[in-house]
Amino acid sequence: MSVVLAFADGTLEVHGLSPSDAAPAECRWDARSACHRAPALAYADVVLELRRRKIAYEDRARAYVELEPKLALERAARPFQREALDEFRRAGGRGVVVLPTGAGKSHVGVLAIDDRRRSALVVVPTLDLVRQWYDLLRTTFATEVGIVGGGSHELKPLTVTTYDSAYLHMAHFGARFGLVVFDECHHLPGATYELAAELCLAPFRLGLTATPERPDGREARLTRLIGPVVYRRDIIELAGEYLSEYEAVHVSIELSAEERAEYEEQRKVYLDFVRAQGIRFSQPNGWNDFLMRASRTPAGLRALAAYRRQRELALAAGKKLEYVELLLERHRRDRTLIFTEDNATAYAVSRRFLVPVITHQTKVRERSEILERFSRGDYGVVATSKVLNEGVDVPEANVAIVISGSGSVREHVQRLGRVLRRREGKQAVLYELVAAKTGEAYTSERRRAHSAYQ
Amino acid sequence: MLSPDHVRVRRQGNELKLLALGGELRERAVELARSARELACEHVGRTREELEDAWATLEIAPRERKLLLGLKKLVEDACDFEAGDADEAASLRRELFLNATARRREDEGKFERARVLAEVAAARGTSPEAVESMLYADLRGAQRLLACHAPAAELLVESYERAQVQAVLLRAVRVVAEVRCAGGDAYRALFQKLKFRRLMHRVEALEDGGYRIEIDGPFSLFQSVAKYGLELALVLPALEACASLRLAAEVRWSNGGRPLTFRYEHAAASSGGEPARPRDEVSGLVADVAALGGGWTASLAERLLDVPGAGVCAPDVVLRRVSDGAEVLVEVLGYWSRSAVWRRVELAQRGLGARLLFVVSSRLRVSEEVLDETEEAALYVYKGHINARGVLRQAEALCADVRR
């Protein structure tokens, strides 16, 4: 009996070898199904090993097809994009390319799809990016493009999906793509999302990101899930020539007297509890420890409520919105993106300044319309919480106002990246509004620990 | 379905245990369920956000937080909400924001918000206040509560207790179930459910006649993953339909935490349910064989035949020859599914390790000859009603074949 390879729910079944036969690397004997089994990720290695050992096999696993050759829309690649593709090829079609936001990572993805010419799946973190990649692939390859996510489930040789949908559905369609492009691939090495890569059979894999580093250090997993970092360029290497010149302005905002009094009062309640309990936030589990202890007693619940209130006072200080008003007057003819940490503030901004807002609650059709009108100039301002942090291409935007955010360096760099896409004569500016003498000042220091802000 | 955030548990060593709702706490749970339900009924006609604000005023002790969250979820699941007209709200926003953008660019002075609202309101023949209130009327918090169908408080608390088990299984990476079913139908329903949920299993017979079934997913061979948690949770009703169930699940309750064992026992009789009765044609066959009074006895089967990689066969009846104790297992496939017959043929050809007779209606257009080459299995095709004599004739032939 010859060896038969089959794709089964995100794994590779190797039939025809007995339990005692030397199976290819990564394969294990599975008594449940009386065959050897490997993660689908190992498909390429298994095939190469069978060939090397001259073992005849029938491949019923691979279900991907070759794409029609040739791009319909040729766009000249910048030198660094061509270099990135060359390094990807040299690594056997597996690797991560690190380029700053606005430098044209998506074009590297398009070049890789054209180069490999296998049915390809593009995995992205948000529905806005699904829409953007859908438009890009459709115009570049002049073919129908499938979408899985946001209520759609249509598979085509070129398909775009979200990390959430890839995690949910890769076990079903993971054999249908020869190349998978993980956009913003720093999302991949989480405990759940990385299964999307494990359950996919694609022998060719490309990761695209501006910031592969993760606070949990799991970026090392990218080597197994995609491949090694094969090419890297930083913002400061490309600013001016390929990215817009920019200025980052840090604005310290004083709380009002009433806000300050309440802030100090609430912060004391919160910190007194933390000290009394001996909770140390310098410990890796400090925050979880606080949450656990806070949920056990009435005093803890009061401390948790006080923590939330003092944070809210700092993040949405009244004077921040007054300052936003000044900035919107100053930049009345520019294209401005306003970022907030939470949805409530984003909607408050929308109501106060009568500007459109995009949050996770905004339906895809309205998101598209808002971004289109923003590109055309019908709208001069768009407010958002986190959903526009990454990837979304708004080249006309030249002003970013960060009202509030997390301590994440990546988030802050990504927000700056929204206004960096180069246009002739464009000078970008990012305003970061920080409540003075509050916990937010420390958060701001942490998120600016990047060369882009030095 | 509840989520793990709604579940009251404690860790004891390597075990995860549900906290019992007994005594005063049970009374308190009923009280909270009553309040949550009454507030929902009182808020019919108002928004989801108003209902949530009202629920937030319920005073609870810290240890009651998850209980209240779970009860609110069950009440919310029993409510009908009406979403605002999304197209109308989006159209209003478009008009308002376009007008505001134009004003901001044209007017050199301070942006006049009130003026923009007044202009748009006038164009729509409404007031600025109405424009403001309609601006985000399509968001979830603005949905209007139409009706609340939540059951009485005592039933809500019982539902909460039952739903907690399923919610724990959402974090399961593997389930080991010891089950005993009254007959082949119940076993078949269980394995059909496992197959439908794309789960994998290992079956082992227990000394007391039941089976130990280890359930997880294909990828579980390499890593303990919670990816199959939803499927494992959805299989619970099929497991509970067995006459008796003893379950041990390996759960990942916290991120990066050590695996914990969750145990649960259920008996159909103790929960007020009755073990499933065999189908009429199965009980009819058992009765007919007994009535013949010949050399064979018939009883309901409680046996599973597992062929790894091919499937599971759950016979309905055991025929036993009085003279030498030779056994033939019978599965009554009836007239429902032709593809089920072909799956059994494939199983038989892989070797079931016992004599099997598949009883099939002629309406499925399958010939007895398809299993002629298989020593341990045979088909008996009947027209109209199952003829016990015909079944026994095939059973005799099977025993003769094997002896040959």
pLDDT at B404: 41
pLDDT of residue B32: 95
Mean pLDDT for the stretch of residues B80-101: 92
pLDDT for the residue numbered A360:
85
Q: Which domain holds residue A283?
A: 257-314
Chain A residues within 8 A of B217 when measuring between CB atoms: 9
Q: What is the pLDDT of residues B125-153, one digit of tens each?
A: 999 999 998 999 889 998 999 999 999 99
Alpha helices in A19-100 (DSSP H): 43-52, 79-90
* Distance between A201 CA and the closest CA of chain B, angstroms: 13
Give yes or no: residues A228 and A87 share one domain: yes
CATH number, domain B170-267: 3.30.70
Q: Which residue of A has its CA nearest to B254?
A: A288
A449 with A382, same domain: the answer is yes
CA distance A80 to chain B (A): 39
Q: So what's the pLDDT on residue A418?
A: 77
Flag whether residue B135 sits within 8 Å of chain A, measured between CB atoms.
yes
Whether residue A220 lies inside any domain: the answer is yes
Check residue B70 and give its pLDDT: 96
Cβ contacts (< 8 Å) between A189 and chain B: which residues?
Answer: none
B109 pLDDT above the threshold of 80? no
The more confidently predicted of residues B89 and B84 is B89
Kindly tell me if the per-residue pLDDT of B247 is higher than 60: yes
Total domains in chain A come to: 4
Chain A interface includes B202 (CB < 8 A): yes
Whether A132 maps to a domain, the answer reads yes
Q: Any idea which of A189-203, B211-225, B348-362 has the lowest mean pLDDT?
A: B348-362
CATH of domain B280-403: 3.40.1350
**Is residue A74 included in any domain, yes or no?**
no
Contacts for A394 with CB less than 8 Å, ≥ 6 apart: A335, A337, A371, A374, A375, A382, A388, A418, A421
Whether residues A249 and A264 share a domain: the answer is no
- A430 strand-pairing partners: A248, A400
Question: What is the nearest CA distance from B174 to chain A, expressed in angstroms?
Answer: 14
Residues in chain A closer than 8 A to B63 (CB atoms): 296
Pairwise CB contact (< 8 Å): A295 & B94: no
Looking at residue A432, what is its pLDDT?
A: 87
Mean pLDDT for chain B?
A: 89
Residues A224 and A83 in one domain: yes
Shortest alpha-carbon distance between residue B290 and chain A (Å)? 38
B219 in Cβ contact with A26 (< 8 Å) = no
CA distance B24 to chain A (A): 19
Q: What is the CATH number of the domain that holds A52?
A: 3.40.1170.30
Same-domain status, A296 and A182: no
**Inside any domain, residue A114:** yes
pLDDT for res A450:
65
Reported as a pLDDT band with limits 50, 70 and 90, residue B195 is confident
A304 and A333, same domain (yes or no): no
Q: How confident is the model over B176-198, as a mean pLDDT?
A: 87
The answer to whether the Cβ–Cβ distance between A32 and B100 falls below 8 Å is: no
* CA-closest candidate to residue B394, choices B355, B345, B349, B343: B355
Q: Using CA atoms, how far apart are residues A382 and A388, in angstroms rounded to an integer? A: 10
CATH classification of the domain holding A402: 3.40.50.300
User: Which of A31, A33, A332 is opposite residue B104, by nearest beta carbon?
Assistant: A332
- The confidence score (pLDDT) of residue A1 equals 57
Please report the pLDDT score of residue B341 as a whole number: 86
Q: What is the pLDDT of residue B384?
A: 84
DSSP state of B47: B
Cross-chain CB nearest to B309 (options A33, A353, A355): A33
Q: Which residue has the tokens 């489930």?
A: A153
On whether both A219 and A86 belong to a single domain, the answer is yes
Q: What residues does each domain of chain B span?
A: 4-83+142-160, 86-137, 170-267, 280-403
User: How far apart (Å, rounded) are the C-alpha atoms in residues B238 and B389?
Assistant: 35
Residue from the list A33, A297, A369 with its beta carbon closest to the beta carbon of B200: A33
Contact A198 B201 (CB under 8 A): no
Domain boundary among A233, A268, A294: A233
Contact B111/A at CB under 8 A: yes
At B262-279, the pLDDT tens digits run 999 998 765 555 556 778
Question: So what's the pLDDT on residue B403?
Answer: 38
Helices (H) and strands (E) in chain B, counts: 12, 16
Spans in chain A with pLDDT lower than 70: 1, 69-73, 239-242, 391-392, 447-454
Asked if residue A210 and residue A329 are part of one domain, the reply reads no
B97 touches chain A (CB under 8 A): yes
pLDDT tens figures, B319-350: 999 999 999 999 998 787 888 888 888 888 88
- Whether B218 sits inside 8 A of A353 (CB atoms) is no
Kindly tell me the sign of the dihedral angle through the C-alpha atoms of B384, B390, B394, B395.
positive
